[in-house]
Amino acid sequence: MQPTQSENPMRVSPWLAAALFLTLAGCGGEDGTTQPTVVTTQPTVVTLTSLTVTAQSVSVAAGARQSIGAQGIGSDGKAMTGVNFTYSSASPGIAFVSSNGAILGLAAGTSAITVTGTSGGVSKATTVNVTVTGALATAAAVVAGANSNDFQPNLVAVARGGTVTWTFPGITHNATFAAAAGAPANIPNTGNQVAGVPRTFATAGTFNYDCTLHAGMTGTVVVP
């Protein structure tokens, strides 16, 4: 006896067939292949959260210098690169600080140096307490590099009326002062001279100078 159409075990309902077709079609691309899932990961943005310095307090003698080392710390807890630092002294007549963080003692007393770091529009600051002892000398010496393009030291201080003497033991350099009230006469091109060229500073101020023969060869004399 042959089974009737309703009894055929292999017969699939038209509705079921349509549903199965749509399900299979949805699993592939236009050509029937399976498409990979693309997951987009946003990069983690690290922001400046704090600053560290090599020392929170320093002591220097008048006329001596000490540099501050500063480092920015990011929101991931790691040291950051590309942080811009600025420095300022609450009492510049006691402790001078250069644009690169060199502290120069000027007179006995205390001052606070504020270190500010900026990255990505975010700024953080910390303070270094400075104690200066003693009094400034009336003389200082600077050596223009015998075989290099630098002044050593490139930051000095003398008491008002004091004298700074430059020596030029090797290659030719000069010392050309930026325009400022009380700035001394420039030192012309000089080389192979160890006797020294003196300049007296009778006026208080910060006197920047450079060697016009060699870019980046700069120095500063501070007179409180």
Determine the topology of domain 139-223 in CATH.
Immunoglobulin-like (2.60.40)
Percentage of the chain beyond pLDDT 90 is 78
Token pair listed for 198:
């003196």
What b/e string do you get for 42-58 counting C-beta neighbours within 10 Å, with b at 16 or more? Answer: eeeeeebeebebeeeeb
Q: Which CATH class is domain 48-133?
A: mainly beta
pLDDT for res 9? 46
Give the residues across from 47 on adjacent strands: none
Close Cβ partners of 53 (under 8 Å, ≥ 6 residues apart):
68, 69, 70, 71, 115, 126, 128
Strands (E), 34-161: 48-53, 57-61, 65-67, 70-74, 84-89, 95-97, 102-105, 109-119, 122-133, 139-144, 151-152, 155-157
pLDDT for res 39? 72
Token pair listed for 213:
């023969």
Domains 48-133 and 139-223 share a fold: yes
pLDDT for res 33? 65
Using the predicted structure, report yes or no on whether residue 181 has a pLDDT greater than 50: yes
Residue 30: pLDDT band (50, 70, 90) is: low
Token pair listed for 19:
């549903």
Domains in the chain: boundaries: 48-133, 139-223
Q: What whole-number distance in Å separates Cα of residue 164 and Cα of residue 102?
A: 19
34-48, 111-125, 185-199: segment of lowest average pLDDT: 34-48
Query: What digits encode the pLDDT tens for the residues 126-163?
Result: 999 999 999 999 999 999 998 899 999 999 999 999 99
